[in-house]
Structure 1
Amino acid sequence: MTVPEFLQMTRPHEITPGLRRQLVDCWKAVINAGGAVIAPGIPLPPVSVRDVAPAAERLIAGLDPERGRLLVATVDGSLAGWLIIRRDLHPLIAHCGVVNHVQTHPHFRRRGIGTALMTRVREVAAEDMNLERLQLSAREGLGLEHFYGSLGWTEVGRWPGALRVAPGDDRDDILMCLSL
């Protein structure tokens, strides 16, 4: 198991040009390797840097200490994985957060980076953001529900056939929850 170092960014100006490039490169590599990380404006694979960069810029622009944070895992200075944690400040749901865009760069897979990211996001959510619960959604067919389940997440529902990977290939969107 590789032990990553973590960076947590809460404002857009904290993201260096080099980190921006690494985020986009990782996202592109994950999508092209069959990863389930989707966002508005990004086409189905194969994708290029040009396809992914605008979505990454939108994520970065949304960083805010109270509403959205970027958690990055690095190994020897290289980006190994990342995710976004968000919260809505409405009083009814401000105690809950949403984890999005969980990614491990294909070069770092099977080295414990995903597990380390998901362990660290629990700490960030509880200690830094005072959240009590997290949620995420995962695409059926990749075994992600088993991965998250092994880390304490519980499947709470599914949107049957909500994700169209290709014509005739509809997958469930699996909804998962974690109490902190």
Structure 2
Amino acid sequence: MFNELEIERLTSISEHSEELSELLIQVVGDGGSIGFLPPLELVDAMKYWEEVLSPNVFLFVAKLNNRIIGSIQLHICTKPNGLHRAEIAKLMTHPHYRRKGVGRLLIEKAEEIAVKEKKSLLVLDTREGDPSNHLYNNLGYIKAGKIPNYAKSVSGELHGTNIYYKELESF
């Protein structure tokens, strides 16, 4: 099934904004903790994507049969004391394609680019208890700690977030 899966870097949102917005709406509607609460309106999702790209943000999408089914961002730190690091952000896989290796491929692509950009440390956070915690552990990320009551769910319940890091090839 995933022989046709391609990971592609987007340098422009314009021709993909509607498809990316639908992905975001699906992920949020399915309970994904990526900064939004359901129901997420199309106009809000499109506004988000319009503001994502910058010279220090790499955006990758997973495409199956030329349709976007996942995405990930790599945020390059520009602070003088952090030029060696980057952050993995907003890993999303369409609910119909979860647990099939899409997220893993997206993370591996982000890691590959981080190494090419001479980054030796990756950081990320994810909601405590989410399946993504297992994925990050399996990919060699180390849990550095937890922040309690970090994110609110649609029910108003507060959830902790886990902070992870991974050291990459040193330069």
TM-score by length of 1: 0.86
Name the % identity: 25
2:31 corresponds to 1:34: yes
Displacement after TM superposition at 1:116 (Å): 0.8
Displacement after TM superposition at 1:112 (Å): 1.0
Question: What is the correspondence of 1:150-165 to structure 2 with a 5 Å cutoff?
Answer: 150-165=138-153
* Contact 2:73/2:90, CA 8 A, preserved across alignment: yes
**CA distance in structure 2 between the aligned counterparts of 1:82 and 1:76, rounded to whole angstroms:** 15
Q: Once the two structures are superposed, what CA deviation does each residue of 1:20-57 show, in whole Å capped at 9, x if it has no partner?
A: 1111110011000111111xxx4x21212122111111
Displacement after TM superposition at 1:167 (Å): 5.3
Displacement after TM superposition at 1:147 (Å): 1.6
**CA distance in structure 2 between the aligned counterparts of 1:100 and 1:35, rounded to whole angstroms:** 13
- 2:59 matched residue in structure 1: 70
Moved more, 109-118 or 160-169: 160-169
Tell me the SS of whatever aligns to 1:59: coil
**CA distance in structure 1 between the aligned counterparts of 2:17 and 2:40, rounded to whole angstroms:** 17
One-letter amino acid of the structure 2 residue matched with residue 33 of structure 1: D
Structure 2, unmatched stretches of 5+, are: none
One-letter amino acid of the structure 1 residue matched with residue 127 of structure 2: R
**CA distance in structure 1 between the aligned counterparts of 2:115 and 2:122, rounded to whole angstroms:** 10
Q: Once the two structures are superposed, what CA deviation does each residue of 1:114-161 show, in whole Å capped at 9, x if it has no partner?
A: 11111111101101x211111110011223222210111110011111
- 1:15 matched residue in structure 2: 13
Tell me the SS of whatever aligns to 2:145: strand
**CA distance in structure 1 between the aligned counterparts of 2:154 and 2:7, rounded to whole angstroms:** 35
* Contact 2:22/2:42, CA 8 A, preserved across alignment: yes
**CA distance in structure 1 between the aligned counterparts of 2:24 and 2:152, rounded to whole angstroms:** 19
- 1:121 matched residue in structure 2: 110
Question: What is the correspondence of 1:65-144 to structure 2 with a 5 Å cutoff?
Answer: 67-127=56-116, 129-144=117-132
**CA distance in structure 1 between the aligned counterparts of 2:97 and 2:60, rounded to whole angstroms:** 16
One-letter amino acid of the structure 2 residue matched with residue 73 of structure 1: A
Distance 1:166 1:31, change over 3 A: closer
TM-score by length of 2: 0.90
* Contact 2:13/2:49, CA 8 A, preserved across alignment: no
**CA distance in structure 1 between the aligned counterparts of 2:156 and 2:38, rounded to whole angstroms:** 16
Q: CA RMSD in A?
A: 1.6
Aligned residues: 167
1:174 to 154, 157, 162: 162
**CA distance in structure 2 between the aligned counterparts of 1:76 and 1:178, rounded to whole angstroms:** 32
Structure 1, unmatched stretches of 5+, are: none
Displacement after TM superposition at 1:98 (Å): 0.6
